[in-house]
A and B are shown apart, each in its own frame.
Chain A
Amino acid sequence: MGDKAIDLVHKKKTKRMDFRIDGKKGQVWVRQTWNYVYVTKKKASKWTPKEKKDFHVAIEKTIRKAWNGKFVLTVKGKSEFAAHYKGKTLTVHFDVDPVSSGAHWTVTAAKIPKGDFHGSKVNWGKQTIELDTEDMNPAKKKGAPKGVTQDPAAHEFGHAIGNATGSPAGHADEYKKTSAYKHHKKSIMNVGMKVKKRHADYLVIELNKIIPDTTFVVKSVK
């Protein structure tokens, strides 16, 4: 059976991200659109157009470095798609695009003086993200093992792909005393940068709604 007989490309739009399963390339693309609101804190100068553009480029670079190609999926089920992918894998990739309207997320970008601190956060229900101009810099967090740092923007993006309070995945920040994963210090949703299989839980829930009789499973994390 050739590729032409099987529909290998499938898409789905959701409130917080869009999915594109590209069976021809062995890739799943998760795309979010962000509508930026720019603010300045303390003595930081006003945002310039170039700074706004550079900020997004830097944030997306940080996100992709942490998350792109990490999840390796296998496919099970009775569908033609699953049969085609028997013994093969797909990898998951992320794309974030700035838009001026109709965005999945409203992102408040705070420009702060170099070396200052500003709290970043994500609210799944409200579809809001708060980031700042220091969030691309690796930071050593309290409790992190020796030599382990975290890129704050990559951690916050982890919330925006489903590791969030109110998400069906059912788990969020892992550094909290109440987290079942509080001892996994190297995890990106704790105080490190290591992506774990569970961090794709929400993505898999949505992927499994797209093609009938087709189930995606995280085989491994690169």
Chain B
Amino acid sequence: MVALAAITAGCTQAQTTQQDNGDDTMTEPEIVMELITQDYEAAVAKLGPPATQEDFRLSRGETEFRIELLNYYTEGQLRDAPPLMREATWTLSPDNNLTIWFAQRNGAWPFLHYQSWHPDDDF
């Protein structure tokens, strides 16, 4: 419930975009460095609502796009208590998407991992 409230709050208040914040000159590495210690709400506040978003339980056998998430968990963790992930993707430019994964912990969604990719990349 707390997480759901956080999502709702994030989506309704996230009308500010990167440009509105005066951050449009930041490079993607700079954006990631700023967000790496933060959470989903901070990302939405900075970048605006994501273009796509999906919550899912992480398990073995993920597609190549998500496969690096498996580096953060043991087989036992994935089997016994599959972690809940939030995958959010922002279009930073026509040639650059940024996907950030957040792992639910104590009702919050801290940053876990990211991937920068071209819209025509096939995984």
Binding between chains A and B: yes
A132 to B62 Cα, complex, angstroms: 16
Chain B residues in 8 Å Cβ range of A175: 63
* Residue from B64, B71, B115, B117 whose CB has the most chain A CB atoms within 10 Å: B64
Task: Determine the chain A residues whose CB is within 8 A of the CB of B70 once the complex forms.
Answer: 117
Q: Given B61, B119, B123, which contacts A142 in the complex, CB threshold below 8 Å?
A: B61
Interface of A is mostly: loop
Q: Are B120's CB and A165's CB within 8 A?
A: yes
Taking CB atoms, residues of chain A closer than 8 Å to B60 are 140, 142
Interface residues of A toward B: which range? 20 to 34
Q: Which residue of B lies closest to A164 (CB)?
A: B122
A165 CB to nearest chain B CB (Å): 5
Residue A118 interfacial (CB < 8 Å) = yes
Q: Which residue, B60, B66, B70, B123, has most C-beta atoms of chain A within 10 A?
A: B123
Q: Restricting to A10-28, which residues have a CB under 8 Å from any CB of B?
A: none
Q: Which of A116, A123, A159 contacts B118 (CB under 8 A)?
A: A123
**In the complex, are the beta carbons of A119 and B64 less than 8 A apart?**
yes
Query: What CA separation (Å) do A119 and B62 show in the bound complex?
Result: 10
Residues of B within 8 A of A165 (CB): 119-122
Contacting pair A120 B123 (CB below 8 A)? yes
Contact A120–B64 (Cβ < 8 Å):
yes
A121 touches B61 (CB 8 A): no
The verdict on B38 contacting chain A, using a C-beta distance below 8 Å, is no
- A117 near B61: Cβ-Cβ < 8 Å: no
Query: Hey, which chain B residues are within 8 Å of A121, CB to CB?
Result: 64-65, 117, 121-123
The reply to whether A126 and B115 form a contact with Cβ atoms under 8 Å apart is no
B91-123 contacts to A (CB < 8 Å): 115, 117-123
B93 to chain A, nearest CB (A): 15
Is B68 located at the chain interface by the 8 A CB criterion? yes
Q: Are A123 and B120 in contact (CB under 8 A)?
A: yes
A172 in contact (CB, < 8 A): yes
B67 in contact with A117 (CB, 8 Å): yes
Task: Find out whether the CB atom of B61 lies under 8 angstroms from the CB atom of A141.
Answer: yes
Q: Which residues of B contact A124 (CB under 8 A)?
A: 120, 122
A195 is an interface residue with CB less than 8 A from chain B = no
Q: How far is it, in angstroms, between the C-alpha of A76 and the C-alpha of B22 when the chains are bound? A: 62
* 25 A-B contacts (beta carbon < 8 Å): A116-B71, A117-B67, A119-B68, A121-B121, A121-B123, A122-B121, A123-B118, A123-B120, A123-B121, A124-B120, A124-B122, A126-B120, A140-B60, A140-B61, A141-B61, A141-B63, A142-B61, A142-B62, A155-B64, A164-B122, A165-B119, A165-B120, A165-B121, A175-B63, A191-B63
Write the residues of chain B forming the contact surface with A, with a CB cutoff of 8 angstroms: 59-71, 115, 117-123
Chain A positions near chain B (C-beta within 8 angstroms): 116-126, 139-144, 152, 155-156, 159, 163-166, 172-173, 175, 191
